[in-house]
Structure 1
């Protein structure tokens, strides 16, 4: 899983700014503010000024790496209580290579080489599957420290996380990890945060929200599946709304210079939301995923849960939808062959009955004379007719 990185370096080793307002609610920013407060005009804070055990706020979420003995395999001199519990570690003083590979500490320490190379704090956020098999959203920061005011021989890291399982994961996929910290709702202009939540009043409003969240997929750098699933969920809800407002949908298509293709009707929806110049392969995949939800009768707001619970996730969903469409196309071709044959077939009898349809299903019964008496025409239902034609094709 790729991750987002935030380079917090400042030129000329000037004291970095202290963040405030809503950023104060983020643990990793509070940790950064603490690190900045220890600089005192130096390039790096002194490790002797750090006492993580005394930091009730983020101390239990933190680690201290010591590179003085081994640059390749540093030693963890401090591991916060919550992180030790998450990793199943009994000791707070171990070598890095003894850290479980699928633990939060391993995710936090994966980036220590970047700290040494950049000589500045680095923030990151991503998701992974934990040792317990739960999807885990996390945000962290690594900050350089020094024992001689020159070399980086210690690194202090802080990480915050949320483990999700089952239905909770399905719901959480609708939000980015940073929303779990309780930030204020995002307004329409703040697409950069990765999510736009509005109450659209009409079809054009729904499309605006869907486009905004689709734009976040471009900028998220594959931060997580959440951004993509949310955008597709918006696109699906837009499609359902467009069926209730066909005139509005036609107007939006005309404005975008798009047309609906009978063989791939949902491609137009994908183009409206993600942009007509978006990667064509991806647009086709998105349209297939939307089509799968339509075929399954998923209600508005249910797309994210649908794709998360699907075997193989989005890829599996797309593959099965393509197979279903191929099978449907083959059946359609077969029933068209039957229609062609029936058109050329001499009638067994003629009945004086009016119908607007080319082919009609009739109900008949065996007569006492041994023939068949036609009683009534079945009201036209395309599905019933298709079933009858398939039966004829199978003879």
Structure 2
């Protein structure tokens, strides 16, 4: 019985006590300590003295808590602009109570801490750059959960409970209205996006997350429901078409910012071979192809069939660009490299879990003169950077972008170049 109790924590759930909040940590919380245990505190800020209420206690070494009363506030604390934000409420935003400039400083601190702890890199220079548009009404695509009554909203933090919303202040108004001002009986979720033309696509998903139908409403009128809607985007000086539920940066300014950063770091030269992994609809490959010239080669690799079809169409006017469909795993990548040979430049934009040790090691073994890594999770980035460092690459530069204001998420672009092998 004692062993089971230790495995599940100490039974602190619901307990309230006072703590002084310590440094920010990865995941949208800060670290505090109480009676020898770590307390991961949401809705607090470093240096604040707060009363916390324990929300989850499943491990002997730590528990999770919300700051429910602020005794000594940080100068960076502000009034929450969203009425649904706060302890025990919507879990969609982490930093509604924080001044936007301080949010960026906290995110930069998290990136530095992850690189230090997981990749052995101390004092990395990184700043998280503000994107145009402000901290609200930036989200051009969102997925809302649907409760059993058909009402849409977002889930409480670390919960399946749906908080029904009338509005979501970080989502652009046409998208928020399209999803939240109607009922969705029988649906498990609704995905909504607004493209560069102002068209609003709403996609109904079943309870397994599979799209069932879409509706596209354009400025001049709506179209009939169809299995999968299409969205038009503009970035990097080009027009793009993607599936309504296909991957695209949700902040309207993010795609351009990332293209600029990737292009500058890659420095593609005429005649070079570029390998673009997790290529999606071809955004980075399309941006880099002109620099490679007609004698160059840009190979875009993507596993999703719909994204590959979109990339084929988007890159049809670039003769040096190719689209290969396949999984980016150790087996598939080894086969691809056997056919392609060693690339000069590698660009990868993996999912949140990162590329992983096996893929990172294979890419490092190519000896590419530049590896440009686009990451939406600093911990995954740091783990993969450690693999590259062990294989002889150095982290030359990293830039952060505040592509997700009011949340703890941050987008990073890192440049890795051949250097000296590391023991990390």
TM-score, length basis structure 2? 0.24
Structure whose CA Rg is larger: 1
Larger strand percent: 2
